[in-house]
Amino acid sequence: MAERPTVAQQLAAKQREISVAEFFERNRQILGFDNPLRALLTTVKEGVDNALDACEEAGILPEISVEIAREGTERLRVAVDDNGPGILRRQIPNVFARLLYGSRFHANRQSRGQQGIGISAAVLYAALTTARPARIVSKVAEEEAAQVVELLIDTQRNLPRVISEDLLLWDRPHGTRVELLLKAKYQRGRQSPFEYLKDTAIVNPHARIVLVEPDGTRVTWERAAPTAPPIPKEVLPHPYGLELGELASRLKATARPTVAEVLAREFAGVTPRALREVLGRAGLSGKEKPDSIHGELLETLLEALRTVPLLPPSAESLSPIGPLLIKRGLRNVLGEIRPDFFAPPVSRPPKVRGGFPFLVEVGLVYGGELPPDQPVQLLRFANRVPLLFQQGACAVTNAVANLDWRRYGLEQKGGSGLPSGPCLILVHVASTKIPFTSEAKEAIAEDPEIDKEITLALQAAARHLRLHLSRRSRREQASEKFDVILRILPRLAEKTSALVGKPVPDLTPVITRIMDVVYVNPSVVAAAKGGSTTTVRVEIVNYTPRARVLELFLEMPPAAFPPDPVSRSPDGSEPELGRMWWTLPKLLPSARAEIALTFPRSSEIDADEVDFYEAGVDEAHLLGADPLPGDWEVRVPRAVIEAAEEAAAAAPPGEETEVDYDGAKSEGALDEE
Amino acid sequence: MARRAKEPSTKSEESAESVSARALRPTLDLAEQVYDQLAHGEIPRMRLPLRTKQNIAFQMREGVWKLGRALGTRSARKKDGALMLLRTFYLVDFIGEMARAGKTSTLRELYYISEGWEEGKFHSEDESNLLIEDLEVLCTRLREDFRLHPEENGASVIGDLTLRERNRKGIAKKINCRDDVGDGGYALPFNVEREKIELLSTGAKFIIAIECGGMVDRLAENGFDEQHDALLVHLKGQPARSTRRFLKRLNEEMKLPVVVFTDGDPWSFRIFASVAYGAIKTAHLSQYLATPSAEFLGVTPSDIENYDLPSDKLSDVDIRALQAELTDPRFQTAEWRAEIELMLKNGKKAEQQSLAKYGLNYVTEKYLPEKLTEMGIL
């Protein structure tokens, strides 16, 4: 019997370590290399994410170029170039040809890539499909020449294999180029490299991105913001998000002498007072050696850390895009479809889930050449990385679908599901740890905290949309009236005068009767190209049959305050709220007044961002502005109030109650010949 | 309201231009009124009787439904009203031009003529037709007085009726609608007034007005007109003014009773209503166009049951049409309410031709004789 190996022995003979690389070779779909289209996108994405992260860390404004060239059938050569800090020679093999090697996994801050799998997986895929090594060119500023390294991955040992190396005199001070030959397929459209880079350009307006497509077409997304976003700070891990194993390894790896010191210095949010309470609950003095804590004691300690109130995690580790840059990014990339409306972007304050801070940002664009009868376009981003797959499974999609958009002026069947309309919605979730539904990082998992924040941000943006749409519909109503007074009435006067043989009468009194509104008409005169200013012009016309004394109020983003010059000096202002106001001279029927405000071009002011309010006329007789809200606490001059009261008293008793002949529709339409 | 047909004799003595000028007199008053309003700083407006279901009233004396007293205001306060006011004066100009040139225009041509009216251009033929009806109401005239007429519609008459028609060339021709015409019957011109058509004699005892051409052919092929001394008039769906006017003249001048034979669906009830009671949109002309003594022969909702006819399910639109009829003053008789409610209850409608279920002769040998006997016509 002794000669016959036992089953366990037989199995043991087959059991051996599976290298990570080998594992991924067999399961490449997990990382997004399951078909030639997808493989190309993933390769471009990993290359570009790395390039952006590298530039950001070095405080460099990114210049990224992606060249895709056909080479034989079903084979593409992909080259991603950046102007980042470059990579030291000795690190090149590990960065590009060793899975799970990276600088950011252990850093507790927001970044695009994290696990250090991506680019190596692309190198691996390239080698698997074309048996060709990756070519890396990288130059750091301190070196005279660039390093050129050709690499493969030893899938057995998860180690890089250098095929060749060389030096190259490069035309740039620093940067990296990754070149891969892989089995792949290029096309534009949804989930394509084009789409990915376009979306990337929207949320990274500080980057200049160039794409050269296989047919030679060169697409450039120019830089739209002059400065890089601040580098997110690296912060200590917060105990609220801690797992037992992590706590154990921290305690084991530390060089600090006591538990108390480790807790106070290596974790965030643990104040001296909280420390005392944690130690008390865990039954520790604090003087214990860190590596003496294990077993039940470890669990008690973790429980204490989780239950004692600590300072919330710091949001300094996050890098929001910010309202201004979201707007610039959207404008820069979507400018050619000429949207009617860019909602002021919403950037929510940071919140915490588990031990990790996160924040949500939303941008919304309406009209222009966006298709009016299709579901809205939803652009999802996690830490500034576009999410192109798994839209249906994503928490962002669900938050959008669960909001009743009908209240905000979009069509939506039954008040749930993706709404339809000429609208594009951008949602960015930033966090030191984003809960993805899978390792492929294609969709954000459901989480009540994140969902709530997304919903609040969407609602805020949607309210702007509703306001825009209601203003637009009022403008349309006004344009009907303008048609009447400007185009129809003069002809009617001509025709009837000719028929009765009398001179054409003065139409002003009729015009003011028909309009019966004070019309506030703002227009933004963008400076000519190269000009340095933007002018907002407001025209106020008294289209009512009586004289008016009016007070005009303006509210603009406080950042844009004060405009200079202002054509009429204001009678009051409140700089910190971005408000100013004027008492206008008495306007007789048909008379007009105008105020022009000039802003520096850098303030990027929009007509939508300046709100107009009017006192001295009631809402029913006001067009293009709203009545002054009650919470402004501004004293309206006596003359304005008196004039308004006079006008109200003299006004005829409302609309005539007669039946509108042209509005009454016969139900017997089919009765007719 | 419209007087024209009642004073045909004055016609021949006047020039075309002066007829139009006289017909358009009220539009001059309107121009005067609008001008004064403009000069006084008032919003131009005019008042017109509403041509809606809510504003038709039964006239005992004439036995028809006519326009009621409710007035609507056409005001330049709104764009639609302002446009219609402006178009009225463009239209008046155009009619004057036609009169001077001795031309007439079809309704469709008018729609295209308005291309040259700049702001006043019509956006649909419905708009131009509505405006012409407004003008009829305003001036208490018929559109022919404004030199406007529909395209020839060719509704046809088959049976022993002799009439004299004055054709385009002014030649009077005597025609018997059975012996002198082809299988298509005698085609009605748009103008069926006395100066155009003189009714001479008839051997018919009654008129059967039929919705569909197929059924007219069936009756003609089966010799129903000769066998029962009937005059067949094809309504062609919703009957044109000329068809309704012609039925009325036959009824009044030849003392022929009129029965209406249509499909059994909600729309056919409206066809009957426009023949017998007067249509809502042309309620201002009801005393010319409506034949109050006309009776509905079928297909009634009860017929669908009694004759067990093949039927279709009522559509949502059908149901809404029936419900609208329940609030239509013209259908407020016990009989109509019962039939409409029966149709709603059964949810079924049937075509006239569904009678062919029992063979091609069934309609002429069984159904019609039964129904006509019931109605006291045969």
Q: What is the pLDDT of residue B22?
A: 82
Check whether residue A39 and residue A147 sit in a common domain.
yes
Q: How far apart are CA A306 and CA A310, in angstroms?
A: 9
Mean pLDDT of B217-225: 94
A490 touches chain B (CB under 8 A): no
Q: What is the pLDDT of residue A72?
A: 83
The closest CB to that of B78, out of A505, A545, A660, belongs to A660
Give the range of the structural domain holding residue A30, as residue numbers without chain letter: 20-221
CATH number at residue A540: 2.60.40.1170
Q: How far apart are CA A258 and CA B40, in angstroms?
A: 97
Q: Is the dihedral of CA A543, A546, A547, A551 positive or negative?
A: negative
Q: What is the pLDDT of residue B9?
A: 39
Flag if B42 and A663 touch (Cβ within 8 Å). no
Q: Which of B25, B36, B64, B77 is the mutation pick for testing A, counting most A CBs within 10 A?
A: B77
| Res. A463: pLDDT tops 70 | yes
A661 touches chain B (CB under 8 A): yes
Q: What is the pLDDT of residue A19?
A: 65
Check whether residue A190 and residue A136 sit in a common domain.
yes
- Segment of A62-66, A240-244, A481-485, B101-105 carrying the highest mean pLDDT: A62-66
A670 touches chain B (CB under 8 A): yes
Whether B112 is catalytic: yes
For residue range A635-653, what is the model confidence (pLDDT) as tens digits?
Answer: 888 888 888 888 777 765 5
Do β-strands B230-234 and B156-158 pair in parallel, antiparallel, or remain unpaired?
antiparallel
Q: How far apart are CA B12 and CA B7, in angstroms?
A: 11
- Tokens in use for A92? 């090149």
For residue range B70-79, what is the model confidence (pLDDT) as tens digits?
Answer: 888 999 988 8
CATH number at residue A181: 3.30.565.10
**Cβ neighbours of residue A444 closer than 8 Å, sequence gap 6 or more:** A380, A382, A387, A394, A395, A396, A429, A434, A435, A436, A437, A450
Flag if B78 and A659 touch (Cβ within 8 Å). no
Flag if B43 and A510 touch (Cβ within 8 Å). yes
Q: Angle CA(A166)–CA(A168)–CA(A172) in degrees, nearest 5?
A: 145
CATH of domain B156-374: 3.40.1360.10
Q: How far apart are CA A278 and CA B217, in angstroms?
A: 101
Check whether residue A334 and residue A386 sit in a common domain.
yes
Q: In terms of pLDDT, which residue wins out, B159 or A233?
A: B159
Flag if A496 and B75 touch (Cβ within 8 Å). no
Q: What is the mean pLDDT of chain A?
A: 84
Check whether residue A417 and residue A521 sit in a common domain.
no
| Res. A125: pLDDT tops 80 | yes
Residue A609 lies in a domain: yes
Residue A481 lies in a domain: no
For residue range A517-575, what is the model confidence (pLDDT) as tens digits?
Answer: 899 888 877 665 556 788 888 999 999 888 899 999 988 888 788 888 888 889 989 98
- Tokens in use for A414? 């039954």
Domain boundaries, chain B: 4-149, 156-374
| Res. B6: pLDDT tops 50 | no
pLDDT band at A376 (very low <50, low <70, confident <90, very high): very high
| Res. A667: pLDDT tops 50 | no
Residue ranges of the alpha helices (H) in chain B?
Answer: 16-23, 25-39, 79-101, 107-113, 125-139, 213-221, 224-228, 241-253, 266-276, 286-289, 301-306, 316-326, 334-346, 362, 368-374
Cβ–Cβ < 8 Å for A611, A555: yes
Q: What is the DSSP letter of A242?
A: -
Residue A318 lies in a domain: no
Which candidate, A434, A351, A427, places its Cα nearest to that of A109?
Answer: A434
Q: In terms of pLDDT, which residue wins out, A98 or A306?
A: A306
Q: Which residue of B has its CA nearest to A656?
A: B73
Determine what percent of chain A is predicted with pLDDT higher than 90.
Answer: 29
B76 touches chain A (CB under 8 A): yes
Do β-strands B64-67 and A659-660 pair in parallel, antiparallel, or remain unpaired?
unpaired
| Res. A502: pLDDT tops 60 | yes
With beta carbons under 8 A apart, name residues in chain A contacting B52.
664-667
Q: Is the dihedral of CA B283, B285, B291, B297 positive or negative?
A: negative
The closest CB to that of B324, out of A487, A502, A667, belongs to A667
A669 touches chain B (CB under 8 A): yes
Query: Is B156-374 in the same CATH topology as B4-149?
Result: no
Least confident span in A527-531, B160-164, B354-358: A527-531
With beta carbons under 8 A apart, name residues in chain A contacting B244.
673
Mean pLDDT of A90-106: 69
Q: How far is A201 from chain B, CA to nearest CA, in Å?
A: 46
In one letter, which amino acid is B81? G
**Cα A402 from chain centroid (whole Å):** 20
Residue A82 lies in a domain: yes
Residues A22, A27, A33, A34, Cα dihedral to 10°: 140
State how far the alpha carbon of A564 is from the alpha carbons of A561, A575, A597, in Å.
Answer: 9, 13, 7
For residue range B279-335, what is the model confidence (pLDDT) as tens digits?
Answer: 888 888 898 899 999 999 989 999 999 999 999 999 999 999 999 999 988 999 999
State how far the alpha carbon of B212 is from the alpha carbons of A337, B234, B267, B269, in Å.
Answer: 54, 7, 13, 14
| Res. A108: pLDDT tops 80 | no
For residue range A194-218, what is the model confidence (pLDDT) as tens digits?
Answer: 999 999 999 999 999 999 999 999 9
CATH number at residue A404: 3.30.230.10
| Res. A114: pLDDT tops 50 | no
pLDDT band at B235 (very low <50, low <70, confident <90, very high): very high
Check whether residue A210 and residue A144 sit in a common domain.
yes
- Tokens in use for A278? 């944690």
Q: How many CB atoms lie within 10 A of CB A446?
A: 14
Q: How far apart are CA A499 and CA A557, in angstroms?
A: 56
Check whether residue A332 and residue A465 sit in a common domain.
yes
For residue range B86-135, what is the model confidence (pLDDT) as tens digits?
Answer: 999 999 889 988 888 888 899 999 999 999 998 889 998 888 999 999 99
Which candidate, A469, A330, A482, places its Cα nearest to that of A405?
Answer: A469
Residue B204, helix vs strand vs coil: coil
Check whether residue A205 and residue A270 sit in a common domain.
no
A667 touches chain B (CB under 8 A): yes
Flag if A673 and B241 touch (Cβ within 8 Å). yes
Check whether residue A71 and residue A194 sit in a common domain.
yes
- Candidate CATH numbers 1.10.10.10, 3.40.50.1370, 3.20.20.120, 3.40.50.1110; the one for domain B4-149: 1.10.10.10
The closest CB to that of B34, out of A492, A513, A545, belongs to A492
Helix then strand then coil, in percent of chain B rounded to 5, is 50, 20, 30
Q: Which of B25, B30, B69, B73 is the mutation pick for testing A, counting most A CBs within 10 A?
A: B73
A-facing residues of B in 3-32 (CB < 8 A) are 28, 31-32
| Res. A220: pLDDT tops 80 | yes
Q: Which residue of A has its CA nearest to B121?
A: A488
pLDDT band at A410 (very low <50, low <70, confident <90, very high): very high
CATH number at residue A292: 1.10.8.50
Flag if A662 and B71 touch (Cβ within 8 Å). no
Residue A83 lies in a domain: yes
At which residue do the structure tokens 């996050």 appear? A318
* Catalytic-labelled residue, pool B35, B111, B112, B362: B112
With beta carbons under 8 A apart, name residues in chain A contacting B80.
662-663
Q: How many CB atoms lie within 10 A of CB A90?
A: 8
Check whether residue A456 and residue A329 sit in a common domain.
yes
| Res. B2: pLDDT tops 70 | no
**Boundary residue ending a domain (A444, A469, A494):** A469
Neighbouring-strand partners of residue B58: B65
**Boundary residue ending a domain (A221, A253, A278):** A221
**Cα B220 from chain centroid (whole Å):** 24
Check whether residue A296 and residue A343 sit in a common domain.
no
pLDDT band at A608 (very low <50, low <70, confident <90, very high): low
**Boundary residue ending a domain (A285, A312, A339):** A312
| Res. A657: pLDDT tops 70 | no
Neighbouring-strand partners of residue B73: A660, B47
Least confident span in A9-23, A178-192, B199-213: A9-23
Count of domains observed in chain A: 4
The closest CB to that of A488, out of B42, B74, B119, belongs to B119
At which residue do the structure tokens 């015009």 appear? A511
Cβ–Cβ < 8 Å for A239, A355: yes
| Res. B3: pLDDT tops 60 | no
In one letter, which amino acid is A594? E
Q: What is the pLDDT of residue A104?
A: 52
Residue A319 lies in a domain: no
B324 touches chain A (CB under 8 A): yes
Least confident span in A292-296, B212-216, B250-254, B351-355: A292-296
Check whether residue A350 and residue A304 sit in a common domain.
no
With beta carbons under 8 A apart, name residues in chain B contacting A664.
50, 52, 72
B222 touches chain A (CB under 8 A): no
B49 touches chain A (CB under 8 A): no
Residue A606 lies in a domain: yes
Q: Angle CA(A188)–CA(A192)–CA(A194) in degrees, nearest 5?
A: 70
Q: How far is A495 from chain B, CA to nearest CA, in Å?
A: 7
Q: What is the pLDDT of residue A25?
A: 64
| Res. B229: pLDDT tops 80 | yes
Residue length of chain B? 378
Flag if A673 and B31 touch (Cβ within 8 Å). no
Q: How far apart are CA A92 and CA A657, in angstroms?
A: 83
B-facing residues of A in 513-572 (CB < 8 A) are 513-514, 545
For residue range B265-292, what is the model confidence (pLDDT) as tens digits?
Answer: 999 999 999 999 988 888 888 988 999 9
Mean pLDDT of A379-406: 92
Check whether residue A138 and residue A283 sit in a common domain.
no
